[in-house]
Amino acid sequence: MAALETFLRGRDREPVALSVPPAMILDMLYDDLVRALTDPDFELDVQASDLSGLSAEELGELLPAVQRVTVDAPTPMWRVSSVIRHAAEGREPRFTPDACRRMFEALVAKSGDREGSAVNATPGVDALLRCTGPWPELSGPARGLTGVLLEQKQLPHPYTLLTVAGLAGDEPLRAVAERLGEDRGAIAMDAIDVVVTAFTPAERAVLAQVDTLNTYFSPDAVPDVWQNLADIPAYVTFTRRALEAAADRIAAIQSGEIPYWADKAFTAREVDVLGQAARVALLRDEPWLPGVFDRLVPGTAVAPTAAKTVPSQALLYELVRAARDFPTPELVTAIRTARSVTRHGGVPKQLDKLLKKVEAALAQRTDVALRQPRRGFGDDGVLRREVGGGYAAVVTVAETVELTWEKDGRPLRSVPAPVRRDHADLVKELRDLVKRTDNQLATLARALEGGLAVDAVHPYGWWRTELAGHPLARSVARRLIWEVETAPGTWQAVLPVTDDLPDAPDGASVRLWHPIRADAETVRAWRDRLVDGEIQQPFKQAFREIYRLTPAEEETRFHSNRFAAHLVHYRRMFALFRARGWTSRLLGPWDGGDGDAAVRTLIAAEWRVCFSHVLVDWTEEQDLVASTDRVCFEHRVDGQWRQSPLAEVPPPVFSEAMRDVDLFVGVTSIAADPDWTAEGPARAYWERAGFADLTETAEARRDALQRILPRLKIADRCTLDGRFLVVRGDLRTYRIHLGSANILMEPDHSYLCIVPARGKAGGRVFLPFEDDRLTLILSKAFLLAADTEISDASIRAQIDGGV
């Protein structure tokens, strides 16, 4: 209301009393907007915020007139048209049939005013998709628009062009189809033929939406167009034909039937068409798709010769991007196979980068992520292959996947020489099976962990057979704590590796236990059970850090400063963003490269978390240092992201998101870098943060150490004192910080720099979860407990210097 009053005062009108109905003010505004778009002498001072009260239909009535305004129009007219365009962004204007007709007429008129310039027909097709009634008769303006589009040297969006040509009549449609088919490849030509012969005009308009999608980047939410296409029977039939044709072509290249040319297996247009077909088939989770991908994806990644090239990098990466949008475990496996067979030097690195996004997305697609093939394993998790001569291969799935060999039932230490000589292909096949199965189980663990934020629930009967009882999946599922709803609202926690499963109907609900829903005593009990039974979980669950809203965050309401003002190694943090499924622009010494907010989308694109960070001046040679800033959350409302009060964020979403941010800071902080030598403010931060109070991650590490220490051979030399592990050596006593792993030496609290070689901490030490920092702390503890045996001259010099 205030914005509208400001607008009216700007029009030299009398101030409007608050009793005047807002609808009347909006009518006055609408009339002035129409006049400003058509009268070059009429000036209107209006902002996009003033237009927020206009309805979707009123915006639709204005946009055809906006289309007639060109860049060389009078400045007042051009300014108002820009304001209306801005106001329409993020909204979905609706068009009456008459507005649709005027939109097409405006596009034709605009093409005449801009002779030689490119014409964009997308606004016309968008208007039809949001038409409030039957489509008007458009053959006249559509014929004129088609003629203009065909005259352009570079044809515009192909499906949009076909949609417009179809409105013009059969003859223009055939002419466009013939022109589009020139030198674009058989698969692309097949797509055009389907659109021309099997699509209705409305279905062509739906397909035209893919013309403007940029599949190179991860969208905040997957566009609805894919689901709309998945509802068109003719297109669904085409997806299978296109992808099978691509697989057949790759097979022919690999066999030598088709001559091989590096990166020439498919045209650029065919790559686009196949990427679109793959997304729809993946969305529908077609049962025939895994077999096609098993042939297509690896074959696209390796030359049929010894050359270090590939038939089509473009298609390979486009299929991986399709997997990012609609991942399935089978396609992830096919991509990993492609990575293992390629000889191209740059492909593995690129696939690794993309796979991180794919696996993060798979964790969110819980309806398919937990689907597990058996790969020929028996119910006992064992696959046995007889080789002959008394030899046999045995692949066993327990906590890990192991390949062993036997001779007449007796285990052998390695592959027997006769088998290696006479059955090399079998050895390679079985080793590949071990890798595939390992990858499968790692993907399953990642998907299950991703379900913690989603609070995913499964039918008990399905879970019993497909996870807890599956010959492969059970190695992961049985070491996790689950909750079964044995009665409405009553959940019973169970650890299948040690507990009997509860008696509950197949339709009962089962979900992963999360410590944020449990009290402290229950969490302690589960942690004790894991350590006492030496059960290492596939990921942190019982020892999982939990993050609850703090009083400071309740006060700031919309953002958290819990992890702000830390200095971090930027490149390491950027790599972690990708590994954990966050998206962020790469920062650096270029325009716009000074800061960004990393974003992760959660719970079916309903929530997202934003973590701000900026580059700072304190850098070492060949290094970039960033400073962390606030964390905030956004909720999708009516298709738009709205910043949400922290108190309204679901506790599992808040906890899991803050856990990621804690990881980013804890792992990449310069405070954890024993080699940091820069002076100035960065050094002051290093000294302060390197021994600061413990974060939730470090507190979980302390809790684990409290249980582990009594089991160690150095137990009598170790004690926990607040945020430090105190180790008594023969020469000195050492205080290892449980967050940074930095070391202070008593009695003067001098700093001890140790950069240990990576490896196991003092031999085999049971850890209830994998934690590189905990392993590092233990390795330092074992080293310092026997400080008289240290032979490293640098370390001994530091120790002896204060003795």
Residue 443 near residue 332, CB atoms below 8 Å: yes
d(CA 516, CA 548): 8
Q: Which two tokens stand for residue 292?
A: 């096609």
Nearest-angstrom CA–CA distance, 658 and 546? 9
Three-state secondary structure call for residue 391: strand
Q: What angle do CA 448, 453, 456 make, to 5 degrees?
A: 55
Quick one: residue 392, left, alpha or beta (phi over 0 = left, psi -120 to 50 = alpha)? beta
Spatial separation of the C-alpha atoms in residues 782 and 768, rounded to whole Å: 19
Cα–chain center distance at 271: 22
Phi, psi for residue 350 in degrees, rounded to 5: -65, -40
Residue 7 and residue 44: Cα distance in Å, rounded? 9
Return the amino acid letter for 320: V
The pLDDT score that the predictor gives to residue 132 is 94
Cα separation, 375 vs 581, whole angstroms: 28
3-state secondary structure of 607: strand
Q: State which H helix or E strand residue 597 sits in.
A: strand 595-602
Q: Each residue of 184-227: pLDDT tens digit?
A: 899 999 999 999 999 999 999 999 999 988 777 666 556 688 99
Give pLDDT, residue 22. 45
The model carries a pTM of 0.71
Identify the burial level of 592 via C-beta atoms within 10 angstroms of its C-beta, where 0-12 means exposed, 13-18 middle and 19 or more buried: exposed
Q: Are 399 and 437 in contact (CB under 8 A)?
A: no
The total of other beta-carbon atoms located within 10 Å of residue 274's CB is 27
Rounded CA-CA distance 505/191 in Å is 48
Nearest to 706 by CA among 722, 720, 690: 720
In this structure, what DSSP letter does residue 69 have?
-
Contacts of residue 749, Cβ cutoff 8 Å, sequence gap at least 6: 735
Give dist(CA 334, CA 192) in Å, integer. 29
Q: What is the pLDDT of residue 299?
A: 95
Measured CA to CA, the distance from residue 682 to residue 616 in angstroms comes to 10
pLDDT given for residue 582 in this prediction: 86
Give the residue ranges of DSSP H helices in 69-116: 75-88, 97-113
State the Cα–Cα distance between residues 733 and 747, nearest whole angstrom: 8
Cβ–Cβ under 8 Å, residues 97 and 106? no
Residue numbers of the chain with a pLDDT score lower than 70: 1-29, 48-49, 90, 112-118, 217-223, 603-605, 617-622, 639, 674-675, 677-681, 687, 690, 756-763, 802-803
198-203 own/partner pairs: CB under 8 Å, 24+ apart? 198/234, 199/232, 199/234, 199/235, 201/135, 201/163, 201/166, 201/167, 202/128, 203/232, 203/234, 203/235
Structure tokens at 689: 């943060």
- C-alpha distances out from residue 330 to 288, 334, 461, Å: 11, 6, 23
Q: Please give the torsion angle defined by the CA atoms of residues 302, 305, 309 and 310, in that order, rounded to the nearest 10 degrees.
A: -40
- CA dist 226 and 284 (Å) reads 10
Sort strands 401-407 and 457-459 into parallel, antiparallel or unpaired: unpaired
Tokens, residue 663: 């990881």
Nearest to 696 by CA among 521, 450, 515: 515
Query: Left (φ > 0), alpha (ψ -120 to 50) or beta: where does 116 sit?
Result: left
pLDDT at 73: 79
Residue 757 has a pLDDT of 58
Tell me the C-alpha distance between 402 and 396, whole Å: 5
Tell me the C-alpha distance between 690 and 566, whole Å: 11
pLDDT at 14: 42
Name residue 331's amino acid. L
Q: What is the C-alpha to C-alpha distance for residues 192 and 207, in angstroms, rounded to an integer?
A: 11
Can you give the pLDDT at residue 773? 86
CA-based R_g, the chain, Å: 32
The pLDDT score that the predictor gives to residue 593 is 81
Beta strand residue intervals within 446-539, DSSP E: 457-459, 482-487, 490-494, 509-512
CB 749 within 8 Å of CB 517: no
Dihedral sign computed on CA atoms, order 94, 97, 100, 106: negative
